[in-house]
Amino acid sequence: MSETTIRRAGAADADRLTELIQASTAYRGDYAAMIDGYRVTPEYVARHEVFLALDPTTDLLLGFYGMIREPAELDLMFVADEAQGLGIGRKLIADMLERARAAGITSIKVVSHPPAEGFYLQMGAERTGTRPPQVKTPWEQPELHFTVKEFSS
Protein backbone atom coordinates (compact mmCIF):
# COMPACT_ATOMS: atom_id res chain seq x y z
CA MET A 1 0.00 0.00 0.00
CA SER A 2 1.75 3.14 -1.15
CA GLU A 3 -0.69 5.86 -0.16
CA THR A 4 -2.32 6.36 3.18
CA THR A 5 -4.37 9.33 4.27
CA ILE A 6 -4.09 10.44 7.88
CA ARG A 7 -6.84 12.70 9.17
CA ARG A 8 -8.29 13.83 12.47
CA ALA A 9 -11.08 11.62 13.76
CA GLY A 10 -14.53 13.01 14.37
CA ALA A 11 -17.31 11.90 16.68
CA ALA A 12 -18.86 9.89 13.82
CA ASP A 13 -15.69 7.73 13.69
CA ALA A 14 -16.01 6.46 17.28
CA ASP A 15 -17.92 3.27 16.44
CA ARG A 16 -15.52 2.19 13.71
CA LEU A 17 -12.56 2.80 16.04
CA THR A 18 -14.23 0.58 18.63
CA GLU A 19 -14.82 -2.09 15.95
CA LEU A 20 -11.15 -2.04 14.96
CA ILE A 21 -10.09 -2.48 18.60
CA GLN A 22 -12.53 -5.30 19.24
CA ALA A 23 -11.45 -7.12 16.04
CA SER A 24 -7.74 -7.04 16.95
CA THR A 25 -6.32 -10.56 17.22
CA ALA A 26 -3.38 -9.15 19.21
CA TYR A 27 -5.78 -8.96 22.14
CA ARG A 28 -6.92 -12.56 22.29
CA GLY A 29 -6.09 -15.13 24.93
CA ASP A 30 -4.13 -13.69 27.86
CA TYR A 31 -4.59 -10.11 26.62
CA ALA A 32 -8.35 -10.20 26.00
CA ALA A 33 -9.10 -8.44 29.31
CA MET A 34 -7.36 -5.28 28.05
CA ILE A 35 -10.11 -4.57 25.53
CA ASP A 36 -13.04 -6.42 27.09
CA GLY A 37 -15.97 -4.01 26.82
CA TYR A 38 -13.73 -1.12 25.74
CA ARG A 39 -15.39 1.53 23.62
CA VAL A 40 -14.04 4.65 21.95
CA THR A 41 -16.70 7.27 22.58
CA PRO A 42 -17.44 10.49 20.72
CA GLU A 43 -16.41 12.29 23.93
CA TYR A 44 -12.99 10.60 23.86
CA VAL A 45 -12.51 11.67 20.25
CA ALA A 46 -13.49 15.25 21.11
CA ARG A 47 -11.20 15.44 24.17
CA HIS A 48 -8.04 13.90 22.71
CA GLU A 49 -6.00 14.00 19.54
CA VAL A 50 -7.24 11.01 17.57
CA PHE A 51 -5.97 10.46 14.04
CA LEU A 52 -6.97 7.81 11.52
CA ALA A 53 -4.96 6.10 8.80
CA LEU A 54 -7.24 5.43 5.84
CA ASP A 55 -6.93 3.87 2.42
CA PRO A 56 -7.68 6.93 0.26
CA THR A 57 -9.47 4.98 -2.45
CA THR A 58 -11.79 2.91 -0.25
CA ASP A 59 -11.89 4.91 3.03
CA LEU A 60 -11.00 1.61 4.77
CA LEU A 61 -9.77 2.22 8.32
CA LEU A 62 -6.21 0.88 8.51
CA GLY A 63 -5.33 2.09 12.00
CA PHE A 64 -5.43 4.98 14.43
CA TYR A 65 -3.82 6.56 17.44
CA GLY A 66 -5.12 8.61 20.32
CA MET A 67 -2.78 10.98 22.12
CA ILE A 68 -3.48 12.74 25.39
CA ARG A 69 -1.83 16.17 25.40
CA GLU A 70 -1.31 16.90 29.09
CA PRO A 71 0.72 15.08 30.15
CA ALA A 72 1.60 13.80 26.69
CA GLU A 73 0.84 10.10 26.36
CA LEU A 74 0.10 7.77 23.47
CA ASP A 75 -3.11 6.40 24.92
CA LEU A 76 -4.31 4.18 22.07
CA MET A 77 -2.71 2.81 18.93
CA PHE A 78 -4.16 0.06 16.80
CA VAL A 79 -3.46 -1.19 13.28
CA ALA A 80 -6.07 -3.39 11.61
CA ASP A 81 -5.04 -7.02 11.35
CA GLU A 82 -5.23 -6.91 7.54
CA ALA A 83 -2.93 -3.87 7.47
CA GLN A 84 -0.19 -5.34 9.69
CA GLY A 85 3.24 -5.22 8.06
CA LEU A 86 2.33 -2.45 5.59
CA GLY A 87 4.04 0.40 7.44
CA ILE A 88 0.81 1.86 8.84
CA GLY A 89 2.11 1.84 12.41
CA ARG A 90 5.28 3.65 11.32
CA LYS A 91 3.21 6.29 9.52
CA LEU A 92 1.01 6.80 12.57
CA ILE A 93 4.00 7.19 14.92
CA ALA A 94 5.69 9.61 12.50
CA ASP A 95 2.48 11.64 12.32
CA MET A 96 2.14 11.70 16.11
CA LEU A 97 5.74 12.81 16.59
CA GLU A 98 5.41 15.56 13.98
CA ARG A 99 2.21 16.88 15.55
CA ALA A 100 3.81 16.74 19.00
CA ARG A 101 6.86 18.61 17.72
CA ALA A 102 4.65 21.32 16.20
CA ALA A 103 2.81 21.66 19.53
CA GLY A 104 6.04 22.02 21.52
CA ILE A 105 5.73 18.63 23.23
CA THR A 106 9.16 17.21 24.09
CA SER A 107 8.32 13.75 25.46
CA ILE A 108 5.50 11.26 24.96
CA LYS A 109 4.83 8.41 27.38
CA VAL A 110 3.70 4.97 26.16
CA VAL A 111 2.37 2.20 28.37
CA SER A 112 2.66 -0.66 25.92
CA HIS A 113 0.77 -3.83 25.22
CA PRO A 114 3.65 -6.25 26.04
CA PRO A 115 3.92 -7.78 22.52
CA ALA A 116 4.08 -4.27 20.99
CA GLU A 117 7.13 -3.16 22.97
CA GLY A 118 9.54 -4.21 20.21
CA PHE A 119 7.69 -2.06 17.67
CA TYR A 120 7.95 1.04 19.87
CA LEU A 121 11.64 0.39 20.48
CA GLN A 122 12.21 0.09 16.71
CA MET A 123 10.41 3.40 16.29
CA GLY A 124 12.85 5.12 18.66
CA ALA A 125 11.14 4.90 22.04
CA GLU A 126 13.24 4.10 25.08
CA ARG A 127 12.10 1.82 27.86
CA THR A 128 11.90 3.67 31.16
CA GLY A 129 10.31 1.04 33.40
CA THR A 130 7.16 -0.96 33.89
CA ARG A 131 3.66 -0.26 35.07
CA PRO A 132 2.59 -2.65 37.83
CA PRO A 133 -0.37 -4.98 37.29
CA GLN A 134 -3.81 -3.33 37.14
CA VAL A 135 -7.35 -4.72 37.30
CA LYS A 136 -7.70 -5.24 33.52
CA THR A 137 -3.98 -5.90 33.00
CA PRO A 138 -2.86 -8.39 35.65
CA TRP A 139 0.73 -8.31 34.37
CA GLU A 140 3.43 -5.68 34.20
CA GLN A 141 3.35 -3.47 31.13
CA PRO A 142 6.43 -1.90 29.54
CA GLU A 143 6.59 1.86 30.01
CA LEU A 144 8.44 3.76 27.31
CA HIS A 145 9.03 7.36 26.23
CA PHE A 146 9.52 8.99 22.86
CA THR A 147 11.79 12.02 22.94
CA VAL A 148 10.40 14.51 20.44
CA LYS A 149 13.36 16.04 18.69
CA GLU A 150 13.52 19.36 16.89
CA PHE A 151 14.58 19.42 13.28
CA SER A 152 18.14 20.61 12.81
CA SER A 153 18.71 23.22 10.15
Q: Per-domain residue ranges for the chain? A: 5-147
- pLDDT for position 151: 53
In this prediction the pTM is 0.92
pLDDT in tens, 79-106: 999 999 999 999 999 999 999 999 999 9
Q: How confident is the model at residue 126 (pLDDT cuts 50, 70, 90)?
A: very high
Residue 29: φ, ψ to 5°:
65, -125
DSSP state of 56: T
> How does residue 31 score in pLDDT terms, banded at 50, 70 and 90?
confident
Mean pLDDT over each residue of the chain, to the nearest integer: 93
Residues 6+ apart with CB under 8 A from 64: 9, 17, 20, 50, 51, 52, 53, 76, 77, 78, 92
User: CA torsion 51→80→29→109, rounded to 10°?
Assistant: -30
Among the ranges given (12-16, 21-25, 112-116, 144-148), the one the predictor scored with the smallest mean pLDDT? 112-116
Q: Which CATH superfamily is domain 5-147 in?
A: Gcn5-related N-acetyltransferase (GNAT) (3.40.630.30)
Q: Calculate mean pLDDT across residues 55-70.
A: 96
Does 135 score more than 90 pLDDT? no
